Structure 1
């Protein structure tokens, strides 16, 4: 295996000149740079990642701030951290996971100590205190999520608004005029997780624009029966449900409907919008526009690496289009029975 000494000898220059020519850390004449590059190519020389990082004054590490909360689904949550790690490795970066309850302190420490070349922010709140910090530090930062105020930030996320519109359109095309959104629990909404709030706003706006009878249910717990009790009390005769809720609610929804004498899709059509698929689990048995970390995380990592290298994205907010997955749970609206139980 060729060494930097071999390249220096072949190019007729010093070892330091080879380092400067290949790293770009100092200005080298075009003729000398070409001779070094030609020698490196002929000898199949590739500098070690540690040497490249040192020459560029980089760590080759991306920090990932992903705080855990009482209502966090750890399996789905870690799916995002893993996809960020996989995407980072394709760009020759490692990841440092920050999971403190106090997300701000971990991010501050990473930025102040130059532990990482850039930061990925997960589990974004509508009024996230990390947004203010991101505006004040020099460390490049990308949010996977969209807070209320995006001024001075770079954000990537699924286009949740589109997923809601597509879900409502699919139900309307099947003849449903009384629909409901079963959203996240009140605990999740209370801490202002950004995307459940965006989903609720778009559901209310678009359902009204389409002239539909619609309700939004924020269940008090992870019990699907509780969500249905609220739904059918507030709007009897609902035949279409959009799910964007905790996995525990979604997994038990079919059984909870069956307890009311209702079947999917015979009596109630169901679409899961913006929910995270988890490889270790059986997929939810509903039509879906999933929040797939494999769609958003590589985009965020690519943008972050670009920022590290001095390239800004064309837009401060990048929304990734959702992909509709049909599993046969949307059918023509029928007159429901058994909802009053």
Structure 2
């Protein structure tokens, strides 16, 4: 990697002139600046982060706060970490990952030390402690998720309520009158911001369409296996007369649902329609493949990084919630209205 003295030599100027040109602290003639910029490009010179901080310039680092807890569902969370990193690299940024469970401490540390230009907040809780910290920081923050108290914040997320409503509409249009939502354990509705939005969207749209909705939130079974509880919950829904299921749960729970339907001799979609909502995993790999309204980490993280970059420029976005419209992907697990049931 090129050093600053190599840039100075190539441009025919002193090291201090290069420093002044890059920091903007002193006026440099247009001709000299052009020579320095040309040398920087040709040598691929990049000032180190410490020097940029001392000069008051950007660090080209985003802090990404993603607390890892004992109950963290790692595949989905790491999908968002990876998506954020990819989005950041498109803007020549790197990511500093903060994983401590005491998330607010890490945010304060990196902000006060000048280690990053902005903070991206993942795994947002309804009453997230990082909301207050974000309002106190002197650098931009973007939440990938929507806390209950989001006044003055910039938040981006999938429109989960619309996603659930999209699934309900597909089932209603296919002629189903009694539908069930199989969700996460009850604790997830206190810890995360999106499960309550899925449930609210499901129940509201079902009422609007004149359907009979039912909800099951299975806890892990007494032997520690959630699969047992999931299968029991599916049985309870079917015993109530449910003919269609909306699944908002992890991939293991999806497989438990399919196992229970198969054990009862019920086919998809002939006997029971099934739609997955808010999934980050591939539902086409299941047997049979399932229709899905997916949660696409890259879409959310691309938007979040774009908003962060705007906040670092003169055209900063207004505070508010930026929702991503849901997309329905048909894989044949719901009988179409004109098909025999």
Residue 252 of structure 1: which of 242, 256, 266 is its match?
A: 256
Is the Cα–Cα contact under 8 Å of residues 7 and 36 in structure 1 kept in the other structure?
no
Within 5 Å, give how 1:300-311 maps onto structure 2. Answer: 300-311=304-315
The structural deviation recorded for 1:6 is 4.2
The structural deviation recorded for 1:47 is 3.5
The structural deviation recorded for 1:134 is 0.6
Query: Per-residue CA shift, 1:136-192, capped at 9, x if unaligned?
Result: 11121111001112112111111112211211111111111111111111121232x
Is the Cα–Cα contact under 8 Å of residues 162 and 321 in structure 1 kept in the other structure?
yes
Other-structure match for 1:37: 34
SS of aligned partner of 2:143: strand
2:107 maps to 1:107: yes
SS of aligned partner of 1:219: coil
**In structure 2, do the counterparts of structure 1 residues 238 and 34 end up closer, same or farther at CA, with 3 Å as the change threshold?**
farther
Distance 2:330 2:295 in 1: 15
Other-structure match for 1:152: 152
Is the Cα–Cα contact under 8 Å of residues 53 and 60 in structure 1 kept in the other structure?
no
The structural deviation recorded for 1:17 is 3.9
SS of aligned partner of 1:180: strand
Query: Per-residue CA shift, 1:17-63, capped at 9, x if unaligned?
Result: 4443444x33636xx23552266348854431527835443332211
**In structure 2, do the counterparts of structure 1 residues 332 and 142 end up closer, same or farther at CA, with 3 Å as the change threshold?**
same
Distance 1:42 1:102 in 2: 45
The structural deviation recorded for 1:128 is 0.6
Is the Cα–Cα contact under 8 Å of residues 21 and 28 in structure 1 kept in the other structure?
yes
2:7 maps to 1:4: yes
- Matched length: 326
Other-structure match for 2:333: 329
Is the Cα–Cα contact under 8 Å of residues 21 and 33 in structure 1 kept in the other structure?
no
- For the aligned residues, what is the CA RMSD? 2.8
SS of aligned partner of 1:101: coil
Which structure 2 residue ranges, 5 or more long, are not aligned?
221-225
Distance 1:112 1:168 in 2: 47
**In structure 2, do the counterparts of structure 1 residues 300 and 213 end up closer, same or farther at CA, with 3 Å as the change threshold?**
same
SS of aligned partner of 2:187: helix
Other-structure match for 1:220: 219
Q: TM-score, normalised by structure 1?
A: 0.86
Distance 2:203 2:30 in 1: 61
Which structure 1 residue ranges, 5 or more long, are not aligned?
337-341
The structural deviation recorded for 1:112 is 2.6
Distance 2:103 2:39 in 1: 48
